[in-house]
Amino acid sequence: SSLGLDLLINEPEWSDNGKTIIGAKGFLSIWLMKNNASDYVEGDLPRDWVAEDWEKNLIKFLTDGTDHQPNLENASNDAMVYSFTERSFQDEIVTSIDGGMYVFGVGFLLILIYSLLVTSDFHPVNQRVMLLLLGFMVIGMAIGSSFGLGFHIGIIYADLHPIIPFLLLGIGVDDLFIIIKSTDNLSQKEKELPLKERIALVVQHSGVSITVTSLTDLVAFLISSTTSIPLLRAFCLSVALGISFLYFFVVTFFIAWYTLDERRIEEGKAFLWFTKRVHSVPPKKSTWTHNLYKKYYVEYLFAIPSQLILGGISLLVFGFGIFGTFNIQQDYDPITYMRQNSYQVKFIEAKNRLYPEFGDIVDIYVGNIPYWENIQEMKQIDSLVNNCQYVRTGSHSLYWFKHVIDVCESEGFNCSTEFDFKKAIVFSLALKPFIFADLKLNITILEEFQDFQDLKWHIQSSKSTFQYGHLESISVQTKAMDEIILGLEKIIFEDSDFVSPISRSLAFHQWTANKVISKELIRNMSLNFACITIVLFMLLANIQLSLIVLFTVAMTITEIAGFAYFVGLNIEIVTSLELILSVGLVLDYSAHIGVCYTIQKTGSRRERSQRALLDMGPAIFSGGFSTFLAFVVLFFNDSYIFTSFCHMLGFGVLFGLWNALVFMPLLLSYFGPLTEEELKTVSPTPSVGRVNMAFPCSNSDIAPP
């Protein structure tokens, strides 16, 4: 290897004669494997099954199969062995995510129980058990269909795909609540209509709400799928497919079963459609949540003292959100995705503790070129690395090409000719065999030694290795990476298919992600809000109301990002994705209130805000709380991906519901659009361009408190 001894042994303890190392604080052992890649291609990359199997058994041996305990014999009590292989990172990500999937069933059960509590009055006829089970079946159909079609058209299965069922579960249950709530919002006269006409009204009403939210969510994810980050692109495309299938199955399959369930209730049958009729069927009562909501919350929300207190709290929380948003750091570190008690994390912590001054290792590769014709270009590589202020001094001293040139100069070879250059390499390998690890020839020396001696070979590729020093911040890491990459791009190999040297480092993936994430997040969020604005203007047909909805959404997103800072999260791939998800989530809450408000044709701004809140508030709260139940169980998982989703989407539900059910109604009561009658009173010119939309909102007046 081209690594020096000082990179491998930490604080060596020497014998009395100073010639033998008898102990050390740490020792780094690096094992290089022969390339055993098979012809089988998966994801456009060859798989080395021999190496993967060997690494798996090595990890099992060193950790004793316990994932974190070292296996040592005849060692001192304080001796520890830490290990890390090529497959370790991916293994831990898969284990971390798969280990959290068991909570999906727990979340499903919690949502089912909660749904039964808020949609039923505990009478055998009026209960909705079978309907809700069929609703959950619809969500499962959407999940399976989106995954199946996605894989069929070539969407990759990314590490974040296991989150999609939780997301579609929350969105789907919200749609179910909206449909079921539509029946309760029918007027008494409408409830007496024949079943077919009554179902038509329910579909007409709830269809507007479901269409608005589904379309805006779909647009948000399709826009986000244009990102340059493959993981984010695959996730957003899969979610977009899931939302499309969910919408289709809800307005077809679920509505059909909903019709049968309404017929069952109308016929007075208990539990199932084929059971006997119950002789005494009490009229369906309002649910306890609706009564509590109407009696206390809506009545007192618009009182002046309540407006001052709740409005002040909303602005205070918004202020904290702004502060946190401006202070949150951008830092993508793959280590955070691993369980903190895993052997991978323990290895990295030990490496940083024992070798704190040593940074990440970088390999520079050169392909099949006439090296003897590009001596100056190869020297430029050494000059670039040695002159970089971020590179650890002396880490490039074992550069193979420099040793070959030294032999040329000492032996009097003319290395600008192919014969002398190859002859110098043969001499160099005899003097310093370690450089052989940096050369890939078209022959195997041990098996074709005579051809090697006769110079009947050529170099297929070569590499050199250097190491950065300690880089303390993301900006410094980016500068260090760019200086090497851009410098190598300026080195041109004339008349060669291999144009310039290329660099590779595991750290470059992390640093490049940090460089791209902020730009991608700003781009995706900007495009999301731009497209959502257009959709809202088209569907709400009112600029004033659309701006209020957008302000509420922007306010909520700011609070989510700000409070992510307070719980210790950073801006990276997962949290960026969660912010994008939150746009569609919180938009649903505000859009429901906004559409219901604009449907009200009579009354003052305050009265219409009250009616919108009364008609849609319980369904919005139930849908939001059910979404929270889908994710709250993730908090008890030790995977960063799951816990960060719990934090971010928990904030989304909390602040989204607060702003939609508290702050936005207060805004509408003062700044909401006027009715046509009010506009005629203000101006003799009648308003034009108004769009009448059917929605599950009653027209019953509510007396102000």
Residue ending a domain, among 486, 504, 522, is 504
Say if 63 falls within a structural domain: no
pLDDT number for residue 491: 92
Which residues of the chain carry a pLDDT beneath 50?
Answer: 1-3, 43, 68, 685-696, 698-705
580 lies in the same domain as 626: yes
Task: Compute the distance between CA of residue 554 and CA of residue 575 in angstroms, rounded to an integer.
Answer: 17
pLDDT number for residue 80: 79
Task: Compute the distance between CA of residue 72 and CA of residue 265 in angstroms, rounded to an integer.
Answer: 69
pLDDT number for residue 44: 53
What percent of the chain is helix, strand and coil (3-state, nearest 5)? 65, 5, 30
Domain count, the chain: 3
Coil, helix or strand for 22? strand
487 lies in the same domain as 533: no
Say if 486 falls within a structural domain: yes
Q: How many beta carbons lie within 10 A of that of residue 282, not counting itself? A: 10
pLDDT number for residue 73: 52
449 lies in the same domain as 465: yes
309 lies in the same domain as 404: no
pLDDT number for residue 492: 92
- What residues have CB less than 8 Å from 389, skipping those under 6 apart? none
Residue ending a domain, among 504, 521, 539, is 504
Task: Compute the distance between CA of residue 402 and CA of residue 398 in angstroms, rounded to an integer.
Answer: 8
pLDDT number for residue 701: 44
pLDDT number for residue 242: 92
pLDDT number for residue 696: 46
Instruction: Please give the single-letter amino acid code of residue 658.
Output: W
pLDDT number for residue 691: 40
Closest C-alpha among 85, 648, 691 to residue 348 = 85
The parent domain of residue 394 ranges over: 361-504
Task: Compute the distance between CA of residue 369 and CA of residue 499 in angstroms, rounded to an integer.
Answer: 9
Contact 113, 126 (CB under 8 A): no
Coil, helix or strand for 529? helix
236 lies in the same domain as 315: yes
Instruction: Kindly state the helix (H) or strand (E) to which residue 628 belongs, with its residue range.
Output: helix 605-632
**pLDDT tens per residue, range 367-414:** 999 988 999 999 999 999 999 998 888 778 788 888 888 888 888 888
519 lies in the same domain as 655: yes
578 lies in the same domain as 533: yes
pLDDT number for residue 141: 92
Q: Is the pTM of the predicted complex or chain greater than 0.75?
A: no
pLDDT number for residue 482: 92
Task: Compute the distance between CA of residue 302 and CA of residue 705 in angstroms, rounded to an integer.
Answer: 8
Say if 283 falls within a structural domain: no
pLDDT number for residue 124: 72
Instruction: Please give the single-letter amino acid code of residue 461.
Output: S
402 lies in the same domain as 466: yes
Q: How many beta carbons lie within 10 A of that of residue 79, not counting itself? A: 9
Farthest CA pair distance, the chain: 111
Say if 702 falls within a structural domain: no
**Which residues does residue 441 pair with via DSSP β-bridges, in sequence order?**
459
537 lies in the same domain as 648: yes
399 lies in the same domain as 421: yes
**pLDDT tens per residue, range 273-298:** 566 666 555 555 555 556 666 666 77
pLDDT number for residue 692: 42
538 lies in the same domain as 668: yes
448 lies in the same domain as 518: no
